[in-house]
Amino acid sequence: MRNPTAPLALGLIGAGIMGERMLNAVLAEDGAPVRIAALWDPSPAARARIATSFPSVPLVADADAVVAASDCVYIASPPASHLGYARAALAAGRSVFCEKPLAVDLAEARDFVAGAGDRGAVNFPFASSLGVATLSQWIAGGAVGTPRRLTIEVAFARWPRGWQEDAAGWLDGRREGGFTREVVSHFLFLSRRLLGPLHALAARADFPEADRSERAVDATFQAGTVPVVLRGRVGETALDDHNTWTLEGEAGTVRLRDWAIAERRSPDGTFAPAPDAMPNERARPIALRRQLDGVVRMTKGEPHHLATLAEALEVQEVVEAILAQGR
């Protein structure tokens, strides 16, 4: 029986960008609420890289060994593999913390969520974001008043982004990749979490190159009662990754800029950041450590703030509906 005061045994499947970020989040924190119990990646090169960069991390022979060593399994592999690993972990009595999307097939995702109960969660870090916490406080304090309009804009110099080149094989494929799944999904989750269920969608997605991911999306929908306009583009900016989530109301306007910076619109029309705002490079590790606190609570069967499987499925339904309008 697990010692309730001991760090949670977290196993990792996948040693790519997200796997390494999670490793850093755990290993950089003294007294972390979790410990790395095991890691496996099917790529020998990835395993060798981890062995060199993180010599204290236990590398194991396969995914089954990760499950056997863990209380919770973090799945950071490409999307098509998510549900196979997640089902194996749940069948062994483990909890699951999974990257999005849950699956590449919506019917399979629906079936999985229907049977998984509350033994899993999905890694949408906005659930633990300091910038989002500031937005929530402003909204609750009346800074927006009655919301009238939400605008979501995402833009990239190229896709995949430069730091994702090693995963371009699936990140730029029409079946698993694209910025709507990888980036827009986070802002859909944020909209759902702060404003309400997503519905009344009308959308268009442009796929100018055969078998490659989208280069533009436009959509309108509602989050709760708030009208939403979404616009995403590749190639219309020199910036690697630029995004804004802007909520306008009868009393004022607030936004989240570039993943992490909470801002309020001043009377002169300019946006001013919160006094404690920090860029995403500094904010991301903090959010991941807060996510890990939620992983511990979820695995213990306690209330938590993480994105539930049901929330992640709702986001995926909208994402795939947008992409289905491709041309």
CB contact at 8 A, 284 and 21: yes
CA-nearest of 316, 96, 324, 301 to 192 is 316
> One-letter amino acid identity for 46?
A
What pLDDT shows up at residue 65?
98
User: Could you tell me the two tokens for 251?
Assistant: 């009393």
Question: 93's torsion region: left (phi>0), alpha (psi -120 to 50) or beta?
Answer: left
Domain boundaries 8-123, CATH class: alpha beta
Does the predicted TM-score (pTM) go above 0.85? yes
What distance in Å separates the CA atoms of residue 40 and residue 63, rounded to the nearest whole number? 6
- Helix H or strand E segment including 243: strand 242-249
Tokens 């999905």: give the residue. 122
In the chain, which segments carry CATH 3.30.360.10? 127-286+314-323
pLDDT (tens digit, 0 to 9) for every residue of the chain, 327 residues total?
456 678 999 999 999 999 999 999 999 888 889 999 999 999 999 999 999 999 999 999 999 999 999 999 999 999 999 999 999 999 999 999 999 999 999 999 999 999 999 999 999 999 999 999 999 999 999 999 999 999 999 999 999 998 998 888 999 999 999 999 999 999 999 999 999 999 999 999 999 999 999 999 999 999 999 999 999 999 999 999 999 999 999 999 999 999 999 999 999 999 999 999 999 999 999 999 999 999 999 999 999 999 999 999 999 999 999 999 987
What distance in Å separates the CA atoms of residue 312 and residue 179, rounded to the nearest whole number? 16
What distance in Å separates the CA atoms of residue 38 and residue 57, rounded to the nearest whole number? 7
C-alpha distances in angstroms, 318 versus 50, 99, 193, 271?
Answer: 35, 17, 14, 30
> One-letter amino acid identity for 323?
L
CB contact at 8 A, 262 and 274: yes
Q: Which CATH architecture has domain 127-286+314-323?
A: 2-Layer Sandwich (3.30)
CB contact at 8 A, 159 and 234: yes
What pLDDT shows up at residue 1?
44
Question: Which residues make Cβ contacts (< 8 Å) with residue 259, sequence separation at least 6?
Answer: 131, 241, 243, 280, 283, 284
Question: Which residues make Cβ contacts (< 8 Å) with residue 183, sequence separation at least 6?
Answer: 154, 232, 241, 243
What distance in Å separates the CA atoms of residue 294 and residue 275, rounded to the nearest whole number? 26
User: Could you tell me the two tokens for 317?
Assistant: 């339904």
C-alpha distances in angstroms, 103 versus 62, 64, 120, 312?
Answer: 21, 20, 14, 10
What pLDDT shows up at residue 166?
84
DSSP single-letter state for residue 6: S
Tell me the backbone φ, ψ of residue 202, rounded to 5 degrees: -135, 135
In the chain, which segments carry CATH 3.40.50.720? 8-123
Cα–chain center distance at 314? 13
What pLDDT shows up at residue 132?
98
